[in-house]
Amino acid sequence: MEFEALDDLSWRMGLIAIVVLLVIYLLVVFLRFNRLKRQRIAANLPNAVALNSAIAAYSAIQENEPSVAAVPVEPRVSVEVAAPPQAVDFPWNEPPPSPVGQKQLDSLEREVNQLRREVGGLRAEVLILREEKRKEQQKPPVTQGVSPLYSDAMQMAIQGQDAASISHYCGISRAEAELVVALVRNRDTNS
């Protein structure tokens, strides 16, 4: 018997039931959004007491300051104030609170600046060393293992001194001086 009742329901009836459920769901969602919107608007409206005290404090400040122009200013909002407050501190009169990690942030910024200066100094040193290395590489290689006596003897031979004066000045034997002179002559003839 129960199955006979289900047989009477057709797919059209099932589809209509699904559509009705969707409409009910959309209506509930719409009502919830509407309620949230009203709550958000109510939360953004200023409190009447705070508004009255703020207007009173502003008008008290304006009365104490000398006016530049003698034109009376009519208030745009009419609010009844019983008595002006004596000394009310409002959040907009105080300086903004410092961020939580401001001291730590300042110390980190100083450290970063110091590190940047150090890196700049190191770069300058590297550039100086690089330039010195380049200059060293451009210099002609110095002959190693040559006695200073013989280098002086070579210079004198290049200048055209005879073997006797070279041996006397450099303190080498006459045969060595003649050899140096012969090397210089040989080099000059080959070039």
Q: Where are the domains of the chain?
A: 2-67+74-93, 148-190
Nearest in space to 89 (alpha carbons), one of 57, 55, 46: 57
Interatomic CA distance for residues 163 and 180, integer angstroms: 8
pLDDT at residue number 126:
92
| pLDDT tens over the chain, length 191 residues | 455 655 566 788 888 989 999 999 999 999 998 888 887 777 666 566 666 676 777 777 766 655 444 445 454 555 454 555 555 555 566 666 666 678 888 888 999 999 999 999 999 999 999 999 998 888 766 555 556 667 888 889 999 899 999 988 888 899 999 999 998 888 878 76
Task: Tell me the one-letter amino acid at 134.
Answer: R
Residues contacting 184, CB < 8 A, separation 6+:
154, 157, 158
Residue with tokens 């073997």, as numbered in its chain: 163
